[in-house]
Chain A
Amino acid sequence: MKILTPVIVALGLGLNGCGYDAHDGPSWPGVVPAVVQDPDAKVQVPPPPFTEGQFPCSDCHEAGLPVNTTRRVLKTAHEDIVLRHDEQHRWCLDCHDEKDRDKLHLASGETLEFTESYRLCGQCHGDKYRDWRAGVHGRRSGNWNGDKTYLLCVHCHYSHAPAFQPLEPKPAPNAPRGDLR
């Protein structure tokens, strides 16, 4: 619950600017000296959306508790989680770190905070990761030329079943009617 408080986490991790070389593409015709995005602009990311009462994981997974590393269907806890994310090939401990239960880990074994989960996603979804860093995948809000807020992958994609869920649309516009009011 404490992580859910709307504390904004500032990340400086190469998210400033666009994260790509601006000079490798064709130039826009008639380019004049431009207002360029402020290189010192802050990029902010809201905290990851944890299920209430779940974090920190170490509250239950106490240090020293033996770890069962066998792939299996969970029966005693987390049985509500149905993995729909390359479930043929993945299971919990491919992402969650077995030693430090409050962290994630990359394929290299490097451990990550949950606030950096995008790096984990980016291991497989490299093109999305690249576009996200450029601000083209996902939603940004704030200032187009200054401080802005990104969302983490997990704000829109539930990590255990990441397909984007259909939404209820807002009402259709009124069709024009040619009668007298």
Chain B
Amino acid sequence: MAAVTTIRLFAQFVTGSMRIVLRGNALYWLWISFLLVLIGAGGIAYWSQLHDGLIQTNMRDQVSWAYYIGNFTFLVGVAAAAILLVIPAYVYQWKPIKEVVILGELLAIAAIVMCGLFVTVDIGRPDRFWHLFPPIGRLNLPSSLLAWDVLVLNGYLLLNFVIVTYLLFSLYRGKHPDKRIFTPLVLFSIPAAIAIHTVTAFLYNGLAARPFWNASILAPRFIASALCSGPAVLLILMQLLRRFTRFHIDDRAIWKVAELMAYAMFINLFLLGAEVFKDVYSDTEHLVHMRYMFFGIGEHTAIVPYMWLSVFCSFAAFVLFLIPKTRAHPVTLNLGCVLIWIGVYLEKGMGLVIPGMTPDTLGEIYEYFPSRVEFEVSAGIFSVGFLVFTLMVKVATPIMLGEFRIRGAETAEHSAPMASAK
């Protein structure tokens, strides 16, 4: 009987959410239309790739993974954003951040959706995607790292989906989430986030054929850079929410996240430095990949400016976030967020994959740069991610504020629904 009521309520919750999504001011609709246009363009570009094949990309035998997989890798990092919020909130019980943990979880969902799409557009036979899903498909476990990645990424998506749905539905019903269910789930998301990073790093790391990736420092580097890029989005989002809704976000939460990002960026730069030292000082044949990355080889210099831009942005952001004054000032704070986003995006999106493949295993240099189709498809996928994220935030905000409730439920206290989930 209670189950039937719950199902009925959940149906109400879903239809209510739909109504919220379909209501919005001009700015909201402008943003949604913008995303839909990009999604449409990406869809058209993908259609031509689907029709002609991967020839529409600039990937070839020599550089067989490139921009799509770089984006995938970057977004796995973004998906971990949540843990930089979960750790202070739930491990150290720091109240100001507890209130915004849900934003991290929502971002994780959007990022994993994008990851799935990037893998889908990257494979040569998307019509056989089901081969990856047992029991009709077959996962080559335990030896294939991509098989593990499929498992952990889907697991992480499910975990975050359950956390978010459970929290929002509870609040919708005017109840506090049951701490005995909620806290373990949130805490479990910490090792899960580490796992998606580690497995994705291992996907590259395990390939002895590619010395640029076959370095044990790779997984730690992934995690360090992930702890910068994801929160950079969240900081900007928090400020937007504060501006446009009644959502209260404590300044101290923002500054704390920025401070943690500074440490993460320090570790990221330190690990990069360690890698550069090893390659440059030992000066073996493996140096060639780093040379291609930072200086180019002969006339092949397509990615060099982007790599220096990445280093510059990461370093500048590190300085901005390290100094308490600049990380507290809204202008430098947001500038730092943008710099971090650019720095890590270029490093993971292009700087990891392309130099790892150039020169190829037989020493050939094929100079890769993404094709128009690759850019359009990628922009479309990012738009899907932003759309998913926007719609989820659109629904979550009024629930968090106590504005969207089941009829008859008492209005929960104005602030800190998460904080009260004790």
Interface residues in chain A, defined as those with a beta carbon under 8 Å from any beta carbon in chain B: 175-176, 178, 180-181
For the complex formed, measure the closest distance between the CB of B279 and the CB atoms of chain A, giving whole angstroms: 26
What separation, in Å, do the CA atoms of A180 and B375 have in the docked complex?
13
How many cross-chain pairs have Cβ atoms below 8 Å apart between A and B?
19
B60 near A176: Cβ-Cβ < 8 Å: yes
For the complex formed, measure the closest distance between the CB of B63 and the CB atoms of chain A, giving whole angstroms: 8
B369 near A178: Cβ-Cβ < 8 Å: yes
The residue of chain A having its C-beta at the shortest distance from the C-beta of B57 within the complex is A178
A180 near B56: Cβ-Cβ < 8 Å: yes
Contacts of B52 in A (CB 8 A): 181
A176 near B55: Cβ-Cβ < 8 Å: no
B367 near A178: Cβ-Cβ < 8 Å: yes
Contacts of B372 in A (CB 8 A): 180
User: Within 8 Å of chain A (Cβ to Cβ): is B366?
Assistant: yes
User: Within 8 Å of chain A (Cβ to Cβ): is B239?
Assistant: no
12 sample A-B contacts, Cβ–Cβ < 8 Å, listed by A number: A175-B366, A176-B60, A176-B61, A176-B62, A176-B366, A178-B58, A178-B366, A178-B367, A178-B371, A180-B371, A180-B373, A181-B56
The residue of chain B having its C-beta at the shortest distance from the C-beta of A177 within the complex is B60
User: Within 8 Å of chain A (Cβ to Cβ): is B368?
Assistant: yes
For the complex formed, measure the closest distance between the CB of A179 and the CB atoms of chain B, giving whole angstroms: 8
For the complex formed, measure the closest distance between the CB of A172 and the CB atoms of chain B, giving whole angstroms: 12
Rank and list the top 5 A-B pairs by shortest CB-CB distance, nearest first.
Answer: A178-B58, A176-B60, A176-B366, A176-B62, A181-B55
Contacts of A181 in B (CB 8 A): 52, 55-56
For the complex formed, measure the closest distance between the CB of B297 and the CB atoms of chain A, giving whole angstroms: 16
Interface residues in chain B, defined as those with a beta carbon under 8 Å from any beta carbon in chain A: 52, 55-56, 58, 60-62, 366-369, 371-373
What separation, in Å, do the CA atoms of A181 and B372 have in the docked complex?
12
Contacts of B60 in A (CB 8 A): 176, 178
Contacts of B373 in A (CB 8 A): 180
The residue of chain A having its C-beta at the shortest distance from the C-beta of B370 within the complex is A178
Contacts of B56 in A (CB 8 A): 180-181
Contacts of B61 in A (CB 8 A): 176
Among A175, A178, A180, find the residue whose CB has the most chain B CB atoms closer than 10 A: A178
Contacts of A176 in B (CB 8 A): 60-62, 366
Contacts of B367 in A (CB 8 A): 178
For the complex formed, measure the closest distance between the CB of A142 and the CB atoms of chain B, giving whole angstroms: 32
For the complex formed, measure the closest distance between the CB of B75 and the CB atoms of chain A, giving whole angstroms: 24
The residue of chain B having its C-beta at the shortest distance from the C-beta of A181 within the complex is B55
What separation, in Å, do the CA atoms of A115 and B55 have in the docked complex?
55
Contacts of A180 in B (CB 8 A): 56, 371-373
What separation, in Å, do the CA atoms of A178 and B58 have in the docked complex?
5
A178 near B368: Cβ-Cβ < 8 Å: yes
What separation, in Å, do the CA atoms of A178 and B55 have in the docked complex?
9
Contacts of B55 in A (CB 8 A): 181
- Beyond known contacts A176-B60, A180-B371: 6 more, CB 8 A cutoff: A175-B366, A176-B61, A178-B58, A178-B366, A178-B368, A178-B369
The residue of chain A having its C-beta at the shortest distance from the C-beta of B48 within the complex is A180
For the complex formed, measure the closest distance between the CB of A27 and the CB atoms of chain B, giving whole angstroms: 29
For the complex formed, measure the closest distance between the CB of B399 and the CB atoms of chain A, giving whole angstroms: 47
Among B58, B367, B369, B372, find the residue whose CB has the most chain A CB atoms closer than 10 A: B58
For the complex formed, measure the closest distance between the CB of A178 and the CB atoms of chain B, giving whole angstroms: 4
Contacts of A178 in B (CB 8 A): 58, 60, 366-369, 371
What separation, in Å, do the CA atoms of A176 and B358 have in the docked complex?
13
Contacts of A175 in B (CB 8 A): 366
For the complex formed, measure the closest distance between the CB of A131 and the CB atoms of chain B, giving whole angstroms: 29
For the complex formed, measure the closest distance between the CB of B292 and the CB atoms of chain A, giving whole angstroms: 16
For the complex formed, measure the closest distance between the CB of B47 and the CB atoms of chain A, giving whole angstroms: 15
What separation, in Å, do the CA atoms of A6 and B74 have in the docked complex?
66
For the complex formed, measure the closest distance between the CB of B2 and the CB atoms of chain A, giving whole angstroms: 60
The residue of chain B having its C-beta at the shortest distance from the C-beta of A175 within the complex is B366
What separation, in Å, do the CA atoms of A11 and B201 have in the docked complex?
62
Contacts of B58 in A (CB 8 A): 178
What separation, in Å, do the CA atoms of A176 and B366 have in the docked complex?
7
For the complex formed, measure the closest distance between the CB of B46 and the CB atoms of chain A, giving whole angstroms: 15
What separation, in Å, do the CA atoms of A176 and B373 have in the docked complex?
18
What separation, in Å, do the CA atoms of A176 and B367 have in the docked complex?
9
What separation, in Å, do the CA atoms of A39 and B372 have in the docked complex?
62
The residue of chain A having its C-beta at the shortest distance from the C-beta of B372 within the complex is A180
For the complex formed, measure the closest distance between the CB of B95 and the CB atoms of chain A, giving whole angstroms: 53
What separation, in Å, do the CA atoms of A180 and B53 have in the docked complex?
12
What separation, in Å, do the CA atoms of A180 and B369 have in the docked complex?
12
For the complex formed, measure the closest distance between the CB of B372 and the CB atoms of chain A, giving whole angstroms: 7
Contacts of B369 in A (CB 8 A): 178
For the complex formed, measure the closest distance between the CB of A1 and the CB atoms of chain B, giving whole angstroms: 48
What separation, in Å, do the CA atoms of A175 and B372 have in the docked complex?
21
